[in-house]
A and B are shown apart, each in its own frame.
Chain A
């Protein structure tokens, strides 16, 4: 199975178990659910997807289902330019991580596209006459 790494052009942070991803060049913002955030954090360029699937399904979820959903999720993020396939097989894999929450299919909960990616406030925004 492939190994993915997070794109260098994405800024991200974790809030309350979910992940917020910002793609400045597309002016796009994504919110990943907790399973998605777990997958995202593990896409470090050295952890193969099998390892991520094993960690996700450690809580009792059906491995085949987790594998299919994780693969689809990674492919979706790759299509959006958020994930990149790591070029070579990793020399060493990251240690296993535990996914504590109940398994739900990893997904993008919210996708926001800014109307004006580099919006600068006009006079009214930072002063000017009151309405």
Chain B
């Protein structure tokens, strides 16, 4: 069956870049494209494309997945290579471009996570991802001794404070939305997607270097880097609660699943809710969630997590 023609779904603007979001969907491959076939552009509203223009019903078999975000930017999960090219003429402000790129990555991964929930894990699996799927969690994360420490909680529970201030000594992975690469069968340990290292490595040059960097901006990470840096294993999963002193307590798996369930992006779709619940069950089977009581004291929190072997 031929691919349905890409059609413009939405025009948006991010960081001053005009964006056209397009989508195509065939029985053999899905493609989402947010970017610029037009002269200039740069970034994303994949999220809107998915939320407001629902794809077809769940598919019967796995599809080879490839997410293309504009012809300027590709996130290819097949070989875990991140390719990005942005127009040098867009801006000379490196920070602004970095923000836009990072945001694109997040949109792309976030979109994959949403697709996994909506269409089912196998619908968005790729050869490179194997059996693994993405699970979006409303959580911050830092790199600890044995891997990624993921801190979950509602808005205002202290996720961002913990990742950006109280644990500023540990490399930060995400401050609000953490993506878990999860094997629902449990054969491979869950890992946390880390975007920033690629981007920092790609665009470490000055603004003057941008055109050159943009022309050869291809990042390949070694297997070891992927294992230990790009997607560190999940070393700790915590549900936050502010308290006068630090403490770790077991949290029943069912309670943890109920806590981690929101935000329900497809709350009205029973099948999508069921999928998220089953992914959470798989996650919690492999990695128990613990309640982490903590005070707003950098010294106390760091010392406690070091003593517990997490940092």
Contact = CB atoms under 8 A, between A and B. Distances in A.
A20 B252 contact: no
Interface in A15-52: 15-16, 18-20, 22, 24-25, 27, 29-32
The main secondary structure of chain B at its interface with chain A is helix
A27 B267 contact: yes
A95 interface: no
Interface centre among B106, B267, B277 (most CB of A within 10 A): B267
B103 A117 contact: no
Contact of A24 (B14, B106, B138, B268): B268
Contacts of B102: 127
Interface in A104-129: 109-110, 112, 114-121, 123-129
Contacts of A116: 262-263
A105 to B, nearest CB: 17
Interface string B247-262: 0000011110111011
A15 B267 CA distance: 21
Given A9-B270, A112-B258, A127-B102, A18 B253 contact: yes
Contacts, number: 110
B254 A11 contact: no
A24 B103 contact: no
A7 B269 CA distance: 15
A13 B268 contact: no
A131 B164 contact: yes
Contacts of A16: 252-254
B270 A130 contact: no
A18 B273 CA distance: 18
Nearest to A30: B258
Contacts of A131: 160, 164, 175
Interface of A: 9, 11-13, 15-16, 18-20, 22, 24-25, 27, 29-32, 109-110, 112, 114-121, 123-131
Contact of A126 (B103, B154, B259): B103
A131 B175 CA distance: 9
A32 B103 CA distance: 39
A119 B51 CA distance: 11
Given A9-B270, A11-B270, A24-B273, A29 B176 contact: no
Nearest to A118: B267
B107 A127 contact: yes
A16 B280 CA distance: 13
Contacts of B263: 114, 116, 119-121
